[in-house]
Amino acid sequence: MMGYYIGAVKTRLGWAGFLWSKDGLAANTLFHSTIRSALAEIESRSKIAAEDKAPPEWIEKFFNVYAEGDFAEAARISKRSAKFDFASGTPFQKSVWREIFKIPCGKTKSYGDIAAALGTSARPVGGACGKNPCPVVIPCHRVLAADGGLGGFYGGVELKKRLLKHEGYPV
């Protein structure tokens, strides 16, 4: 994967690792205890080895203000500056990720809500959520089951609960 870089940012919630290109953020990992484990996971997921490089400014700002709980500023940063490089996603997955990107902090939608907006069913939406390469920036943790159950999450249900609690959502 030529033209891609990896890097990491330390936040109050832990280290987050990133893969990006000139076109935007391609993937991220969430909240490791060390920079080494954040970078190792992003290298493993991306199948590339690269030297550590400072991520683009918007990524660092977004993750730091998110970790500090300034969700209004995190939303402004993501809406104003977020660019994505989703070379690996299918057209359907990309449509799901674009829909999820619209969910504001502290709010949730069900898999069925997302499915209805896209004219599909909930199961493939869940599958696309599971393939989301940029959790938190594309907030798939804000997508719940129709009965309010948490469903799955790339980092596990406990991390999903932690993120929702961090945002003030009653879990």
Which amino acids are annotated catalytic? Answer: 140
Query: Which own/partner pairs from 141-144 qualify as long-range (CB within 8 Å, at least 24 positions apart)?
Result: 142/100, 142/103, 142/105, 142/107, 142/108, 142/109, 142/167, 142/169, 143/100, 143/103, 143/108, 143/109, 143/110, 143/111, 143/114, 144/108, 144/109, 144/110, 144/111
Distances (CA, A) of 131 to 3, 14, 80, 81, 108: 22, 22, 24, 22, 19
